[in-house]
A and B are shown apart, each in its own frame.
Chain A
């Protein structure tokens, strides 16, 4: 359902899709009717792509492709496009971004929607938790013996069909969300400026105010608290964190393809800027797994377990202070 915010602020329309809140944020003063029309289009884009790429829908194109692993399966053009991007990303990141982590993700406990995973965790009795821990350890040992990730190297793809290696399963995860944000961004071009925000993965479109738009980076240890304020005029931001979508100690949704286990890293959260949300999504995951060396390759900020934020985003105040000094 779409909702409206205060008229004095940027105009906002919200709805839920892909397991998160989607927001269209339009420049103050934009035509309400236009924003409403654009929001309906954006909602339709998200619903269409969720129906295509959701692993929780048995009739989604993704579920059908996974069910037919080992044989050639016809696919739609968007499916071929996103799969191509995912395989390209896997090459670029040396496998740190891996679209075939689904089996490892299920083994780690994310075998149903996140809301259901949380509900199961809450309803467990202490005895069940103990049992779950034992099961988890056994599972970890099994996975260590047979790493399930890396199957992307054996995927065969052309424009109209795909063949997954037997036993492999695709899961686009965040990249599907980022790619859908990019698709939706094309639909908001008529607005003076706008942000398409999918649960914090966002893209700015149009001519923003010269000083830029402020985006808060949430503290991974304190929900609702800002750890860093960013200011940007274009492009996309994506954040990957091990503290969200987490259902127990060491159990979270970021799988390290090198171990097939939830990542154990000194980086709690990585935020990456890129020209598209798809790229930002891919590289935020790679940044989380790489750590500080990624800052030599792309614009990013990392929140470390030590309580520090390491960033190569320049500081706005430096420029502002310099200007004040010149004026004085």
Chain B
């Protein structure tokens, strides 16, 4: 057996520890700034996609068109009516090519 004592690892000097401390502190302080600086930037609102060098990121403006579609629900005509003896000589049509002779709309010029 060798009883020679193991050499103790050399301790870092106070000065070295202080320097590493300063270096770590500076790195942690600066890293967010560096990361933000390197990260990709959003396209300026006033800049078109083509000028920004990439594909257009803004959708072309499309007007919203309101399409009025009404579902017709048919219910049984009354057998006796307060205004007529039957259901009346009236029907509705789903589609018509010719313009109507007149229009009804509710107390305004139509």
Q: Mark A residues whose CB is within 8 Å of B.
A: 10, 20-21, 23, 25, 92, 174, 177, 195, 197, 199-202, 212-223, 225-235, 237-241, 243-245, 253, 269, 271-275, 279-280, 283, 292, 295-299, 301, 303, 307-317, 319
Contacts and interface: CB of A to CB of B under 8 A. Distances in A.
8 tightest Cβ-Cβ pairs between the two chains A and B: A241-B106, A274-B83, A216-B100, A218-B105, A316-B91, A200-B104, A299-B88, A232-B90
Contacts of B74: 311-312, 314-315
Given A214-B96, A223-B110, A311-B72, 13 more contacts: A199-B110, A212-B89, A216-B99, A221-B68, A229-B94, A241-B107, A244-B107, A245-B107, A272-B83, A273-B84, A308-B70, A311-B92, A315-B93
A298 B107 contact: no
A243 B75 CA distance: 24
Chain A interface main SS type: strand
Contact of B92 (A225, A229, A241, A296): A229
B35 interface: no
B28 interface: no
A62 B109 CA distance: 24
B91 A200 contact: no
A25 B102 contact: yes
A314 B91 contact: yes
Interface in B56-105: 66, 68-78, 81-84, 87-96, 98-105
B76 A312 contact: yes
A228 B72 CA distance: 9
Contacts of A217: 103-105
B77 A312 contact: yes
A174 B107 contact: yes
B92 to A, nearest CB: 5
A231 B93 CA distance: 7
A200 B106 contact: yes
A245 B98 contact: no
Contacts of B87: 299, 312-314
A231 B92 contact: yes
A202 B107 CA distance: 11
B108 interface: yes
A70 B36 CA distance: 85
B83 A280 contact: yes
A195 B103 CA distance: 11
A319 B92 CA distance: 11
11 contacts: A25-B101, A200-B110, A201-B107, A212-B90, A229-B95, A232-B88, A245-B106, A297-B78, A299-B90, A314-B77, A317-B93
Contacts of B109: 20-21, 199
B104 to A, nearest CB: 4
B84 A239 contact: no
Nearest to A16: B109
Given A274-B83, A299-B87, A308-B71, A200 B92 contact: no
A308 B96 CA distance: 20
A225 B99 CA distance: 12
Contacts of A222: 66, 68
Interface string B43-60: 000000000000000000
A310 B76 CA distance: 10
Nearest to B108: A244
Contacts of A280: 83
A312 B73 CA distance: 8
A245 B93 CA distance: 28
Contacts of B71: 307-309
A223 B105 CA distance: 9
B12 to A, nearest CB: 75
A236 B77 CA distance: 17
A244 B106 contact: yes
A269 B70 CA distance: 13
A195 B101 contact: yes
